[in-house]
Amino acid sequence: MSGESTLTGEAAIRVLVIDDNKNHAEGLAELLRLSGFDASHVFTGGAGIESAQNHAVDAVLLDMNLPDMNGFEVCRKLRNDPRTANVAVVFHTAQGSVPGSRHPGDAFLTYPVAMEEVYAVIRKSVERRRRRFMNW
């Protein structure tokens, strides 16, 4: 993650894509970069947790089904660590709706979805998290 800035001089939103489908993870990260985000990707929940802890990300775009743990478990571990407790978590899956009406993330996207919606949801989730953190 480079911490580059946008044309307005603001720091780019740092997004970590966690997805076990390598083509999907790499493609999402590239599309995010092309749209002004500072994006990177990993392929397992464990690697995602470690990366988020070590690179001060603003948001995680998190697949629900990973080889080592599910997305809910990754989210709980991020929320329970003071280094990552304020990271916006946006779940994404192609499997349909969330089991039950509640999930531990900030947003939930079901593919197919327009990338413009993905960008908007990430920005809004990060903004909400930043406001919540500043009001504490």
Does the pLDDT value for residue 20 go beyond 50? yes
Q: Identify the structural domains of the chain with CATH numbers, from first to last.
A: 14-134 (3.40.50.2300)
Per-residue pLDDT at 135: 61
- Helix H or strand E segment including 71: helix 71-79
Terminus-to-terminus CA distance in the chain, angstroms? 27
pLDDT tens-digit profile of 24-33?
999 999 999 9
Mean pLDDT, residues 47-56 taken together: 97
Per-residue pLDDT at 5: 42
For residue 8, what pLDDT band results from cuts at 50, 70 and 90? very low
